[in-house]
Structure 1
Amino acid sequence: MHPQQQLALALLAYAAQRGLAVDRLARQSGLDTAALLSPTHGPLSAKQWHDLWLNAAQLARDPTFGLHFGEAATPAALGVVGQLVQSSRTVGEALTHGAALLPLLTDQVWLDLAHSPQSVWLRFRQLPTELAASATVVDHLVDFVLAFVLHELDGLLLERLQPRTVRFPPGARQLPEHLRVLRAATLAAGPPGEYSVELAGACWSMPLLTADYELQAALLQKITQWQAARPAVEPLRDKIAGYLLANAYLGIPSLEELAANFSTSARSLQRKLQAEGTNYQEVADAVRKSLALHYLKMGAYPIKEISYLMGYNELSAFSRAFKRWTGHSPAHYQPASASRSLPG
Structure 2
Amino acid sequence: MMELSSYQANRMLGDQGYPAFELRHILAFTARHFGEYQAQALLRAIGLDSNTVQHSQFVAVWQVDYALRMLHELSHDPEIGVRIGATYQLAGLDILLPHFATCRTLRDCLAVVNRMPRLVGSLSDTLVLEEQGELAMRWLNTGRLEIQHYHTIFSHSIGVLLTLARELTGERVEYSRLAFQVPAFAGRYLSAMTGATLAFEQTYCEWAVSEQMLALPVTYPFSHAKTPAALPLSPSLIDLVLAQLHRHFPQIPRLEELAASLNMSDRSLRRKLAALGTGYQPLVDMVRAQRAIAALLAGQQSIADIAGQLGYVDVSHFRQSFKHWTGQAPGHFVRLNSSSPEWETSR
CA separation of 1:86 and 1:69: change in aligned 2, threshold 3 A: farther
Amino acid at match of 1:188: A
RMSD: 2.9
TM-score by length of 1: 0.52
Deviation track 1:141-199 (CA, whole Å, cap 9, x = no partner) reads: 21121112122212222221232221123647563222122221x2124752x222222
Residue in 2 aligned with 1:137?
A: 149
Residue in 1 aligned with 2:40?
A: 23
Residue in 2 aligned with 1:157?
A: 169
TM-score by length of 2: 0.52
How far has the Cα of 1:95 moved from its partner?
Answer: 0.7
CA separation of 1:30 and 1:56: change in aligned 2, threshold 3 A: farther
CA separation of 1:70 and 1:86: change in aligned 2, threshold 3 A: farther
How far has the Cα of 1:45 moved from its partner?
Answer: 4.8
1:183 aligns with 2:195: yes
Residue in 2 aligned with 1:69?
A: 84
Residue pair 2:174, 2:213 contacting (<8 A) in 1 also: no
1:80-99, aligned counterparts within 5 Å?
Answer: 80-99=95-114
Residue pair 1:99, 1:111 contacting (<8 A) in 2 also: no
SS in 2 for 1:12: helix
1:123 aligns with 2:138: yes
In structure 2, C-alpha distance between the alignment counterparts of 1:127 and 1:78, rounded to whole Å? 27
SS in 2 for 1:31: coil
Residue in 2 aligned with 1:32?
A: 49
SS in 2 for 1:169: coil
Identify the structure with the greater helix proportion.
1
Deviation track 1:271-298 (CA, whole Å, cap 9, x = no partner) reads: xxxxxxxxxxxxxxxxxxxxxxxxxxxx
Amino acid at match of 1:90: T
1:170-209, aligned counterparts within 5 Å?
Answer: 171=183, 175-184=187-196, 186-189=197-200, 191-192=202-203, 194-209=204-219
Residue pair 1:116, 1:201 contacting (<8 A) in 2 also: no
Residue pair 2:19, 2:118 contacting (<8 A) in 1 also: no
How far has the Cα of 1:81 moved from its partner?
Answer: 3.1
In structure 1, C-alpha distance between the alignment counterparts of 2:185 and 2:94, rounded to whole Å? 30
Unaligned runs of 5+ in 2: 1-16, 226-347
CA separation of 1:206 and 1:61: change in aligned 2, threshold 3 A: same
Residue pair 1:96, 1:113 contacting (<8 A) in 2 also: no
Amino acid at match of 1:36: V
1:44 aligns with 2:60: yes
Higher relative CO (CA 8 A, sep ≥ 6), structure 1 or 2?
Answer: 2
In structure 1, C-alpha distance between the alignment counterparts of 2:148 and 2:105, rounded to whole Å? 33
Residue pair 2:19, 2:119 contacting (<8 A) in 1 also: yes
In structure 2, C-alpha distance between the alignment counterparts of 1:28 and 1:141, rounded to whole Å? 19
Amino acid at match of 2:117: L
Deviation track 1:8-66 (CA, whole Å, cap 9, x = no partner) reads: 122112222224221112223443334434538x43152x3332111123334543221
Residue pair 1:73, 1:148 contacting (<8 A) in 2 also: yes
Residue in 2 aligned with 1:305?
A: none
Match of 2:25 among 7, 10, 24: 10
CA separation of 1:207 and 1:190: change in aligned 2, threshold 3 A: farther
Residue pair 2:179, 2:198 contacting (<8 A) in 1 also: yes
Amino acid at match of 2:147: A
CA separation of 1:95 and 1:172: change in aligned 2, threshold 3 A: farther
SS in 1 for 2:104: coil
Residue pair 1:162, 1:199 contacting (<8 A) in 2 also: yes
SS in 2 for 1:43: strand
SS in 1 for 2:60: coil
Identity %: 16
In structure 1, C-alpha distance between the alignment counterparts of 2:185 and 2:118, rounded to whole Å? 24
SS in 2 for 1:63: coil
Unaligned runs of 5+ in 1: 218-344
SS in 2 for 1:72: coil
CA separation of 1:133 and 1:28: change in aligned 2, threshold 3 A: farther
Residue in 1 aligned with 2:282?
A: none
In structure 2, C-alpha distance between the alignment counterparts of 1:64 and 1:170, rounded to whole Å? 12
Amino acid at match of 2:163: H
